[in-house]
Amino acid sequence: MFSALKTLPVVSLLLTASATAAVPGEVITAHNLATGRYAMMSATNGSNFVEVACGGELTHGGSPRYILSSVVGTILLPDGYFNSELAAADEDCVQQLIISNSGTMRFSNLPHWSPDGSKIAVYADRFDSAHEMPVERGIFVAEVVRPVGSGQPTGIANLRLAIPAQGEVLISWSGDSQRIAYVASGPNGSNGQQADIFIYDLAADVSVNVTNTPDVNEDHPAYSPADERIAFIRLITVRGTYRYDIFTIPAAGGTARQVTTKGTTGAAQNLFPSFSPDGQYLSFASGASLFAFDIYRIKADGSGKAVNLTGKRTGSFRYNRWRR
Cα 295 from Cα 308, distance rounded (Å): 6
User: What pLDDT, on the 0 to 100 scale, is given for residue 13?
Assistant: 34
User: What pLDDT, on the 0 to 100 scale, is given for residue 209?
Assistant: 94
Give the residue from 247, 231, 224, 249 showing the smallest Cα distance to 324. Answer: 224
Domain ranges of the chain: 1-17+53-164, 169-324
User: What pLDDT, on the 0 to 100 scale, is given for residue 21?
Assistant: 66
Radius of gyration of the chain (CA): 19
User: What pLDDT, on the 0 to 100 scale, is given for residue 119?
Assistant: 97
Cα 22 from Cα 88, distance rounded (Å): 16
According to CATH, the superfamily of the domain at 169-324 is TolB, C-terminal domain (2.120.10.30)
Mean pLDDT by 10 residues, the chain (324 residues): 32 39 81 90 91 86 85 94 95 89 93 94 95 95 91 94 92 97 80 86 96 89 97 88 94 95 94 96 92 95 96 92 86
Burial of 29-41, coded b for 16+ CB within 10 Å and e otherwise, reads bbbbbeeeebbbb
Which residues fall within 8 angstroms of residue 235, CB to CB, at 6 or more apart? 216, 217, 218, 242, 243, 244
What is the H or E stretch that residue 264 is in?
Answer: helix 262-265
User: What pLDDT, on the 0 to 100 scale, is given for residue 7?
Assistant: 34
User: What pLDDT, on the 0 to 100 scale, is given for residue 190?
Assistant: 66
Q: Which neighbouring-strand residues pair with 122?
A: 140
User: What pLDDT, on the 0 to 100 scale, is given for residue 2?
Assistant: 27
- pTM of this structure: 0.90
User: What pLDDT, on the 0 to 100 scale, is given for residue 20?
Assistant: 60
Give the residue from 181, 277, 154, 272 showing the smallest Cα distance to 220. Answer: 272
Cα 27 from Cα 135, distance rounded (Å): 39
User: What pLDDT, on the 0 to 100 scale, is given for residue 158?
Assistant: 97
User: What pLDDT, on the 0 to 100 scale, is given for residue 24?
Assistant: 73
DSSP type of residue 247: E
DSSP type of residue 85: E
User: What pLDDT, on the 0 to 100 scale, is given for residue 4?
Assistant: 32
User: What pLDDT, on the 0 to 100 scale, is given for residue 17?
Assistant: 37
